[in-house]
């Protein structure tokens, strides 16, 4: 697939900037916000299904190839929860409420059973009905701490222990996190598939 431009199925300016940096100058990235303020309902039962729903919606409203990601945290001891509900795990109360709920759910779980992974599923479609989307997944393995550490990042970063750096994700410099993260791993696969690696 050769692309000169694509639309990102996100209104997040930070994500747009990050994606443009990862793809380089060969592909111009535009926000779906240029075409519509409507966000599709995420009715999928997996990260991949939700990424595809968002990508197809962005392609439909823009008429351009579209890329979407769906990301979250899957905790082994919780059967993969919060999973696709990561952003609204505590009912829409935000990062602090989500983290508090996660800590409470794991209160009596020993360190050896606190394994978790951040998951990123990317879906790229040429058009809204594309029967051959490009799907790439990145996993970032770690474990859940007993209390928050660090001031960088967002979401569950303060609770996510990164074994290869021996610190919490929220203690990593942004450039280091972007090199190791689930999103970086999925983007590396996408770059390979697009011949940009």
Instruction: Determine which helix (DSSP H) or strand (DSSP E) holds 187, and give its type and residue range.
Output: helix 182-193
| CATH code: domain of residue 110 | 3.90.950.10
Q: What confidence tens digit (pLDDT) does each residue in 10-23 have?
A: 888 777 887 887 77
Average pLDDT over residues 67-91: 96
The answer to whether residue 130 is catalytic is no
Domain that holds residue 59: 5-194
Q: What confidence tens digit (pLDDT) does each residue in 115-171 have?
A: 999 999 999 999 999 999 999 999 999 999 999 999 988 899 999 999 999 999 999
pLDDT for 174 equals: 85
Q: Give dist(CA 77, CA 67) in Å, integer.
A: 31
Three-state SS at 54: helix
For the record, the structure tokens of 173 come out as 């410099």
Catalytic residue among 70, 108, 111, 130: 70
pLDDT for 15 equals: 79
Q: Give dist(CA 139, CA 7) in Å, integer.
A: 24
Binding site: what residues are annotated? 10-15, 41, 70-71, 154-157, 177, 182-183
Binding site for Mg(2+): what residues are annotated? 41, 70
Q: What confidence tens digit (pLDDT) does each residue in 22-33 have?
A: 777 878 899 999
Length of the chain: 197
| Whole-structure pTM value | 0.91
Number of domains in the chain: 1
For the record, the structure tokens of 24 come out as 């380089």
Binding site for substrate: what residues are annotated? 10-15, 71, 154-157, 177, 182-183
């Amino acid at each position: 697939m050769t692309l000169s431009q694509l639309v990102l199925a996100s209104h997040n300016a930070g994500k747009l900037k990050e994606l443009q940096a990862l793809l380089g100058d060969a592909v111009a990235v535009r926000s779906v916000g240029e075409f519509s303020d409507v966000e599709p309902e995420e009715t999928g039962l997996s990260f991949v299904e939700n990424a595809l729903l968002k990508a197809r919606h962005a392609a439909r409203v823009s008429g351009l190839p579209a890329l979407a990601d769906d990301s979250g945290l899957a905790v082994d001891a919780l059967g993969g929860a919060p999973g696709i509900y990561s952003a609204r795990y505590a009912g829409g109360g935000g990062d602090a409420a989500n983290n508090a709920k996660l800590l409470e759910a794991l209160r009596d779980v020993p360190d050896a059973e606190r394994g978790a992974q951040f998951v990123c599923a990317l879906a790229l479609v040429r058009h809204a009905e594309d029967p051959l989307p490009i799907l790439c997944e990145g996993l970032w393995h770690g474990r859940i701490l007993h209390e928050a550490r660090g001031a960088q990042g967002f979401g569950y970063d303060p609770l996510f222990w990164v074994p290869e750096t021996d610190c919490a994700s929220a203690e990593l410099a942004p450039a280091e996190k972007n090199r190791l993260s689930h999103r970086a791993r999925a983007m590396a696969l996408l770059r390979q598939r697009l011949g940009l690696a």
